[in-house]
Structure 1
Amino acid sequence: MIITDDFLPLPVPESLTATYLVPVSTPPDVTPTQALAALGDRVTELVHDLSRQMLESPLMTVDLRPVDEFPELPPDLLTAFGATEEQLGRLATATNLIVVQASYRPGWPPAHEWAARAVGAAMAEAVGGDLVDVFGLQFLDPATALRSLPDPEGRVRLVDWVLVPYSTAEGGLWFTTKGLRRFGLLELQAQEVPTHLTRGWGAVMTGVARRLLRTWTDGLSGIEVPAFVQLPVVTTVTDHDIAVAYGYPRQQDAAGPAALRLELDPATDPEADSFLTLLPPIGHPGSVSRYFAGVCTTLFGAPRSDVRYDRSDDAMARAVATARAGLPAIRERFVGGSLAGDLQLLVKYALATAEGPEYVWAGVDSWQRPEQILCTSACDAVADPTVRIGAAVTVATAEVVDWALLDRGSVVEGGWTQAVLDAGQRG
């Protein structure tokens, strides 16, 4: 390995482990193999074969353990990553845990994660329980977990595996990723992010994660696992990286690239995480905040408000009424599987704020109960800091004010309220 100022050598762990839990009070009456087989064509042949092979090998274990034999999961962090009171209550009253663990070498595919999530989701569905991703400290609806697994072409949405939480810090917002360590890579962080860039910078972080993860796994593609993988000190991110990370069809780069410098920030506490910090390239004359704002402008164009508040005019009322009238039919099409493979269903729902409802878009993952929709947030809410891009959210159907079908990132059906808002802006 040649060490230069242009590349950052990162050590490669010998193996990686995924852990998923299913809280239960009575032992399951099915085996993991039976539960996996019951999934049928809801997962691809690739996932079936990979999971079955790992189940039959020492690389995966599925054990039933008393709750007190497993380290306690912190309720505050589970809540921060979307856990509901009902889910926390079921975890608190469970007497046992089905513990699914799988280990594998770093590289692509991440067999340990795909197989452990598939088997864990199958067991959770078989017992009618919850699935807990220990790495992400996140409750996953079994149907949502299954939808996050690779499609027939082996593709996944990175936002189903890597979250981008943020918090207030001196000088702006502090963004991190949570999920890159699943693949052996260090997590990213960015500090001094302007507060008005919450949505845009979350997408930037996700796009950078996708670009670096590809470089990382390309470096691990050989037969032997290397001791180090070299990442470029200056990396670029484009709208293509962001689109692919969010599961939109591949497209030619229409904007960018934007450059960001990587700097290793090693932890001084052995129990803490080290980070790869995102910074402006060396020689940039302005502040970090100003450079980050410029990155968002390069990728997304001139900034505009992410918040949509209520408009009580007749056009908006008609748009909401039209959207709500179509909810039963679009649910039937979604649940019945009649939507084409490239179509994505989103719903727009209301969050209460002091200034009126804030409208938030979310991608639909599961809609088994007519009154409740399990989604992945498509944006960061201003009113609720737990609603962030890529976070799991539960939406009451009664709160939905619009829905839209997207094909290659463009609305092909629905989106009535958005059309009213856009028309108002043009006027």
Structure 2
Amino acid sequence: MLITDDFLPVPVPESLTATYLVPMAGLPRVGTKTAVAALADRLAEPVYGLARQMLDSPLMSVETRPIGEFPELPPDLLTAFGATEAQLDRLAAASHVVVVQAQYRPGWPPAHEWAARAVAAAVAESADGDVVDVFGLQFLDPATALRSLPDERGRIRLVDWILVPYSSDAEGLWFTTKGLRRFGLLELQTQGVPDHLTRAWGAVMTGAARRLLRDWADGLTGEEVPAFVPLPVLATVTGHDIAVAYGNPEQHGATAPVLLRLELDPATDPEADSFLSLRPPLGHPGTDGRYFAAACATLFTGIQPDVRYTRPGDAMSTAVSTARSRLDEVRARFLSGALPAETQLVVKYALPGADGPEYVWAGVTAWDDPERITGASASDAAADPAVRIGAPVVVATADVVDWALLGATGVLEGGWTQAVLDAGQPQPPTTP
């Protein structure tokens, strides 16, 4: 294998393991093979065949254990990654857990992940239970787990398999991926991302993961597993990469490619993870954050990400009034299921702080009471240490100052206060 300065040699693990859990009260009442057979008409043939073959081979094991024999799952992390109170209550009440594990060589298809998730979903469905993805520390209801599996053409939405968590420090935001190691590839990271690029850079990371995963899989097509796969030092990301990763290729036209430089960041602690860092190309003038902002402007023309802000003025007051005047309408659409598929409703609301109100976003999960919104925080709040990304929040409707409907490419509707900030001057916001 020829390695040059244009390529970065990335080590390949010898084998990969997928682990899924199905907590349940009591012992399974349906055999594993019977549960999988019940999904014959709902699983695409590549996955259905893989699941049946691996069940009959030493590559997969399915064991039922008393739950006390399995290490306790951290409820705070499960909550941060989307677990509901009902799911946590079922976990607490479980007496046993079905452990589904599968091993396979690195490469494509990732048979270990597809087969193990399919079998775990079959077992969970037969027991009216949940699937716990141990790698991602996520609860999946059986229907969601099954939807994430590939279709008859082997296509998946990468967002169903990786997460992009972030945290903040004095230099900006630190983004990482969580899920690429399922496929043998190192996780990605970016440091020093400006605060106002929160949502946009998460999408860029997802698109970059999709592009690099393709290069990674192409390097593993031989009969022998190589020790290293050469990845291009300068990776390209386009709007199409992002749209495909979100499963909506038709919702994004062609954009100019953005270049990102790969750097290997090996861990000094043997217990810690190594990363592939995404940086601007060498020789780029200015800060990394300026380059990241320019990259987002290229990939999301006319779309700006979510930010926190406090800016007075007539234009902002008009924007808030416009958003609030349409709250009843968007609530009715949310409750009736009339919002477009693959979109998320978010609201911005005020948190009291020592220096005045702080405005943060939350994804809406329930709005049965017109006066109260139940959701999950979309960002960390400086004013309240309990408000962290993914944490459950209850928002008084009276505190809402804006709302937006988000799709794979950003804001599709709403976001009037954002328009005022983007204009940079006191102009009335444009109605979508």
TM-score of the superposition, structure 1-length normalised? 0.80
In structure 2, give the amino acid aligned to 1:152: E
Residue deviations 1:375-421 (CA, integer Å, cap 9, x gap): x99x9446654249xxxx9999x99999989899997xxx6x57999
Matches within 5 A, 1:331-342: none
- Identity percentage of aligned residues: 59
Range that drifts further, 251-260 or 202-211: 251-260
Relative to structure 1, is the Cα distance of residues 157 and 394 closer, same or farther in structure 2, using a 3 angstrom cutoff?
farther
- Partner residue in 2 for 1:160: 160
Matches within 5 A, 1:6-405: 6-250=6-250, 254-301=254-301, 304=304, 306=306, 313=321, 319-326=326-333, 330=337, 344-350=341-347, 352-354=349-351, 380-381=378-379, 385-387=388-390
Q: Distance in 1 between matches of 2:302 and 2:405?
A: 24
Residue deviations 1:161-202 (CA, integer Å, cap 9, x gap): 010000112311111000000000000111111111111110
Q: Distance in 1 between matches of 2:160 and 2:264?
A: 26
Relative to structure 1, is the Cα distance of residues 184 and 40 closer, same or farther in structure 2, using a 3 angstrom cutoff?
same
Cα distance, 1:59 vs structure 2: 1.2
Q: Distance in 1 between matches of 2:179 and 2:14?
A: 18
Q: Distance in 2 between matches of 1:408 and 1:280?
A: 22
- 1:236/1:260 contact within 8 Å kept: yes
Number of positions where the alignment pairs a residue of Structure 1 with one of Structure 2: 399
Q: Distance in 1 between matches of 2:82 and 2:327?
A: 27
Q: Distance in 2 between matches of 1:57 and 1:248?
A: 36
Cα distance, 1:38 vs structure 2: 2.3
- Partner residue in 2 for 1:337: none
SS of 2:341's equivalent in the other structure is: strand
Relative to structure 1, is the Cα distance of residues 262 and 327 closer, same or farther in structure 2, using a 3 angstrom cutoff?
closer
Cα distance, 1:218 vs structure 2: 0.8
Q: 1:426 aligns with which of 423, 427, 430?
A: 430
SS of 1:241's equivalent in the other structure is: helix
Q: Distance in 2 between matches of 1:48 and 1:171?
A: 47
Q: Distance in 2 between matches of 1:174 and 1:381?
A: 13
Q: Distance in 2 between matches of 1:325 and 1:157?
A: 29
Range that drifts further, 121-130 or 191-200: 121-130
Q: Which runs of 5+ in 1 are unaligned?
A: 335-342
The two structures, once aligned, show a CA RMSD in angstroms of 3.8
Q: Distance in 1 between matches of 2:95 and 2:304?
A: 50
- Partner residue in 2 for 1:339: none
Range that drifts further, 187-196 or 243-252: 243-252
- 2:106/2:225 contact within 8 Å kept: yes
Cα distance, 1:325 vs structure 2: 4.4
Cα distance, 1:79 vs structure 2: 2.5
Relative to structure 1, is the Cα distance of residues 288 and 316 closer, same or farther in structure 2, using a 3 angstrom cutoff?
closer
- 1:106/1:225 contact within 8 Å kept: yes
Cα distance, 1:256 vs structure 2: 2.5
In structure 2, give the amino acid aligned to 1:286: G
Range that drifts further, 319-328 or 133-142: 319-328
Q: Distance in 2 between matches of 1:298 and 1:12?
A: 33
Q: Distance in 1 between matches of 2:405 and 2:167?
A: 30
- 1:350/1:357 contact within 8 Å kept: no
